[in-house]
Amino acid sequence: MVWTRLPLYGHSKPSTGGWQPLRFDGGAFHLKRTAELARALLVLRLCAWPPLVTHGLAFQAWSQRLLGSRLSGALLRASIYGQFVAGETAEEVRGCVQQLQAIGLQPLLAVPTEEEPDSAAKTSEAWYEGNLSAMLHCVDLSRAVADAHGPARNSLMQLKVTALTSPRLCKELSAWIQRPRGSSELRPERLAEAMESGRNLQLSCLSTEQNQHLQASLSRLHRVAQHARAQDVRLLVDAEYTFINPALSLLVAALAMRWNSSEEEGPWVWNTYQAYLKDTHERLERDAKAAHEAGLAFGVKLVRGAYLDKERSVTQLHGKEDCTQPDYEATSRSYSRCLELMLRRVSNHGPRCHLMVASHNEESIRQATRRSSHSLD
């Protein structure tokens, strides 16, 4: 991933101290031991094996019954967990981060806690409060592992809204937002005021229990943003499924009103835009314009998207029009258009507009670096 409000460059080698355009020549491999590279190849093959992808949780439960929780956990940590997780302790995370910083890469820590929107799991306020504690700890860790030689405000952390509020509530709010006239009660200004004051909203479209949970959720989101701002850590809110994204965008807009103002020298709260959705360019353009007119800084994490199969199966189930791009090429064109839009805004609005180019696609990264380097000419 590349993050910019300035021309995009990366370290050519740790020892040179100079700056050259980003390269994808495998230079990062020298940081990894042979065993780590072998594990990465094994995990890649496993994650491409359809039965494991489809029945992963069942395999895990079977492994625990057959091998016991201790041995099963050890195998998981040595394989998939070890490949994708920076560490279980602060010391392990710092070691991983130092490796990344050696080649000019910056960490984006995330707490892997979430609930599926259609999950039957019985979660409670205590569960969400526990996630809040984990989020606050992650903010502290993000600040602690920041590059001591870099700008003080370059710490980043990913925030998953469904770790702090019920996906079912988000689904309910999204349904109200998407009605022809929406709900006049569901305004970012009103939610922002409730976050700040702690006063209950009492939305007529929600039950008493749902209103209580919404207020508790707003308080949790506000506490994370408040602590992140105090620690100079920027929050990148992750996108999720389209049928709850309207609610997530509403919550992000409420946070942005408080923490992305000119007084706060933001943006401290960013939203994620998924290029594999057909309406992403339109929404991105609309939101960028609205933020500019409101005098707010605007932070964007631009991704291709990660829920394609789920999105298509849901639309087919409910007989709705497919909201996703028809193929890979269309998604690439959408990503390129959104990238060009945001690079222009970064160029025109300077420090009040930030962009993270989050893509596994080399051409997208090259497009960003070429366009940004040309601004020096």
Weakest mean pLDDT among 15-29, 47-61, 327-341? 15-29
| Separation CA 268–CA 251 (nearest Å) | 14
- Distance, in Å, from the CA atom of 280 to the CA atom of 276, rounded to the nearest integer, reads 8
pLDDT at 121: 56
Q: Say yes or no to pLDDT of 59 above 60.
A: yes
**β-pairing verdict for 19-20 and 10-11:** antiparallel
**Average of pLDDT values for 202-217?**
93
Contact 267, 260 (CB under 8 A): yes
Considering 75-79, 178-182, 200-204, 334-338, the range whose residues carry the highest mean pLDDT is: 334-338
CA distance 350 to 339: 16
Q: Does residue 234 or residue 182 have the better pLDDT? A: 234
pLDDT of 235 over the 70 cut:
yes
Instruction: Compute the average pLDDT of residues 173-184.
Output: 82
Count of C-beta atoms within a 10 Å radius of residue 151 = 9
Q: Which of 284, 280, 215 is nearest to 254 (CA)?
A: 215
Q: Which H or E run contains 3?
A: strand 2-4
- Considering only CA atoms, which of 242, 239, 263 is closest in space to residue 252? 239
What pLDDT digit, counting tens, does each position of 276-293 carry?
999 999 999 999 999 999
- DSSP secondary structure letter of residue 306: S
What is the rounded distance in angstroms from the CA atom of residue 117 to the CA atom of residue 70?
Answer: 30
Closest CA to 245 of 324, 130, 128: 324
Q: 17: pLDDT confidence band, cut at 50, 70 and 90?
A: very low
> 56: pLDDT confidence band, cut at 50, 70 and 90?
confident
DSSP string, 231-281: TTEEEEEPP--TTTHHHHHHHHHHHHHHHSSGGGTS--EEEEEETTBTTHH
Q: Does residue 188 carry a pLDDT above 70?
A: yes
For 50-89, give the secondary structure using H, E and C. HHHHHCHHHHHHHHHHHHCHHHHHHHHHHCHHHHHCCCCC
**Per residue in 210-225, pLDDT tens?**
999 999 999 999 999 9
Share of the chain above pLDDT 90, in %: 44
The mean pLDDT of the chain is: 84
Of the pLDDT bands very low, low, confident and very high (cuts 50, 70, 90), residue 361 is confident
- In terms of DSSP bridges, do strands 353-357 and 298-303 run parallel, antiparallel, or are they unpaired? parallel
The CA-to-CA distance between both ends of the chain, in Å, stands at 24
What's the confidence (pLDDT) of residue 7? 40
Per-residue pLDDT reduced to its tens digit, 135-161: 999 999 888 887 554 555 568 999 999
